[in-house]
Structures are given as C-alpha cells and as structure tokens.
C-alpha cells in the first residue's frame, strides 16, 4: 500500500491518479472531507489531520511507501510515525529554493525537513520543483474580473513546472522504489510573468494584460496567497531572475521519458478556472 499525504492538493491529487494508473494500491490522507469527493474511485481515503497521531497511525497501517507533503511544524512526529510503521521509502515534496543562493525562510524550512528525513534512517527521495505553474491560478479571479493582473518584475523569467509533471516524477520514484536521490524539476520554458499572461490570453481567447507595479504594491497583493515570511523572498527571486533567467532542466523527460507540459498546455488544462465568471 502506498500512502499519499496532501492528497487533495495540486500535486498530491495527481500523484494519486498516477499511482492508480500504474495499478498500485493507494491510500489518501486528506484533511478536508468535502474535497475528498474529488478523488478518483479505487483510492482508500483516511480523513483527518496529519498532526493527530491516531490519524497518522491509521493512515500508515500496512504502508511501505509514502508521498510526504511538507506540513511544517508537525513534521518530526510524522517522520517518527513512519519509522514506527516500518515504512521503507518516503518521497518528500521539497523545493529547489533549498539550493538558491538566498534560500530564505522557505529554503531553510525545507532544508530542515530534508535533513530530518535523511537522518530518520528511512529510504528517501526528494522532488524539488522550482516554481509551480499552479501559483498562476491566483491570477484567475482578477483576469476574469478586469482582464489584467498587476505585479513587479514582469520581465523576470522563471521556469514554472506543471503539477502533473511533479506528480509523475514522484509516482515514478514510488513505483520504482528509488531512494537516495534528489530531483530538481522545471518546466520546458523560461517564461516571464508578461509572457505567461499573454499565453493565458491566447489560450482562453480573452484579453489578458500584465501591468507592472511597484514592489511594495506587489508585496501587498502577494500577501493574499503567499505566507508572509515568503513574500519578500519571492520578490527577491523575481528580482534576481531579471538578470539571470531561471535555467530549464530536462529532468522530467530524462526520468519518466515524457516531455513536461508546456505553459500553454497547463493553461488549457485549467481553462475553466481562467474562464470562471468573476
Ligand atoms: N508554490 C510553489 O511554487 C512551490 C515551489 C516548490 C515547492 N513547492 C512545494 O509544494 C507545496 C504545495 O503543493 P500543492 O500546491 O500540491 O499544495 P496544496 O494544493 O496547497 O495542497 C496542500 C495539501 O496538503 C493537505 N494538508 C495541509 N495541511 C494538512 C494537515 N495538517 N493534515 C493533512 N493534510 C494537510 C491539504 O489538505 P486539504 O486539501 O484537505 O486542506 C492539501 O491536500 C508547498 O508546500 C511546497 O512545499 C511549492
């Protein structure tokens, strides 16, 4: 049995689907029952908070492999529960920010989790996405309402990756029982915010514009969906990407033999979200 935590999230949901498509027995741990409905048939669901040892013990019964969503603050007890349950492999959802020159709060937290997993004695593998395309779903309501989004450093090029590709790599590591390895994941293109909004307009057939604003104004808007300690960090990542566009890695194709989704393919996959009435 493979346990997927964070199973109703952008990435976790796709890990569940991918593992089921590989014919694997999957158990999903979700926090919110309502959303549980969105999970495919054939997955065994455990509902509850990862922070609760009772919930965790039930979720880990007869489990040998775990996709580990990084819930900060309770992670050490999640790990000890995995050790107690004699789990053989954990695939941790980490982040490429641990490798950045300025890892900041997020990078330090994720690095701490990676160290804890390495020192746990469990078989481990880490997936480190750079920037998730799913972040741009936060633009959808504003684009639907006004046809425009604002932000700073519009020309800074990141290499966003589709949540389905992160999930495909995680599922590959779980089904092939790979351990002792770390994979940094990017999408197939380095794209600025201006270019991404243009592609959203092209794919949705709606007018879409990116309006440059000050870093202060951008920070105020980012606070709507970015944890406070990471707001300044995201702006500094964008600032440095203006001079040094993020590099594109071929990890997804190399590992799973499939080309990663382009940004236009990702927008098409979430077309309804971008066309949803304001
Ligand atoms: N955003 C980026 O650009 C980026 C870049 C690199 C790495 N990452 C990593 O990716 C993660 C985000 O992944 P995502 O987009 O798939 O996440 P997401 O969509 O926000 O989903 C979070 C999932 O975790 C579950 N969850 C949260 N707290 C829980 C708890 N206490 N007990 C049980 N389940 C809990 C949620 O359950 P409910 O749905 O039931 O609430 C949900 O399934 C980040 O945390 C970071 O580590 C992100």
Residue-wise pLDDT for 57-70, tens only, equals: 999 999 999 999 99
In three-state form (DSSP H/G/I as H, E/B as E, the rest C), the secondary structure along 9-26 is CHHHHHHHHHHHHCCCCE
CA 252 to CA 95: how far, in whole Å? 15
Using DSSP, state whether 52 is helix, strand or coil: coil
Contact call for residues 123 and 90 (beta carbons, < 8 A): yes
Q: Is 269 in the pocket of ligand 1 (CB under 6 A)?
A: no
Name the DSSP letter for residue 257: S
Q: How far is the CA of 9 from the centre of ligand 1 (A)?
A: 5
For the segment 178-230, what is each residue's pLDDT rounded down to a tens digit? 999 999 999 999 999 999 999 999 999 999 999 999 999 999 999 988 888 88
DSSP string, 98-124: GGSSS-HHHHHHHHHHHHHHHHTTSEE
CB atoms near residue 140 (< 10 Å): 19
Using DSSP, state whether 92 is helix, strand or coil: strand
Among 51, 69, 137, which residue has the most ligand 1 atoms within 8 Å of its CB, making it the best to mutate? Answer: 69
Q: Is 30 in the pocket of ligand 1 (CB under 6 A)?
A: yes
| CATH node for 2-129+162-185+248-258 | 3.40.50.720
For the segment 99-124, what is each residue's pLDDT rounded down to a tens digit? 988 888 889 999 999 999 999 999 99
Contact call for residues 36 and 14 (beta carbons, < 8 A): no
């Amino acid at each position: 049995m493979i346990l997927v935590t964070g199973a109703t999230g952008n990435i976790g949901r796709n890990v569940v689907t991918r593992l089921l498509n590989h014919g694997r027995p999957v158990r999903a741990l979700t926090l919110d029952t309502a959303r549980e409905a969105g999970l495919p048939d054939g997955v065994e669901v455990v509902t509850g908070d990862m922070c609760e040892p009772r919930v965790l013990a039930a979720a880990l019964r007869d489990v040998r492999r775990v996709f580990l969503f990084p819930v900060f603050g309770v992670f050490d007890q999640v790990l000890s529960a995995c050790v107690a349950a004699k789990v053989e492999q954990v695939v941790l959802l980490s982040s490429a920010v641990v490798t950045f020159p300025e890892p900041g709060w997020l990078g330090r937290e994720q690095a701490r989790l990676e160290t804890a997993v390495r020192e746990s004695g469990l078989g481990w593998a880490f997936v480190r996405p750079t920037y998730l395309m799913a972040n741009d779903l936060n633009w959808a309501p504003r684009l639907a309402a006004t046809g425009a989004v604002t932000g700073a450093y519009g020309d800074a090029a990141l290499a966003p990756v589709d949540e389905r590709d992160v999930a495909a790599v995680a599922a590959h590591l779980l089904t092939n029982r790979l351990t002792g390895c770390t994979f940094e994941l990017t999408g197939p293109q380095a794209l600025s915010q201006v270019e991404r909004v243009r592609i959203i307009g092209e794919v949705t057939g709606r007018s879409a514009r990116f309006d440059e604003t000050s870093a202060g104004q951008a920070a105020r808007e980012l606070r709507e969906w970015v944890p406070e300690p990471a707001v300044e960090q995201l702006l500094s990542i964008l600032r440095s990407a203006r001079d040094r566009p993020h590099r594109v890695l071929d990890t997804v194709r190399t590992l799973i033999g499939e080309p990663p989704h382009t940004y236009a393919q990702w927008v098409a996959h979430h077309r309804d979200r971008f066309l949803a009435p304001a």
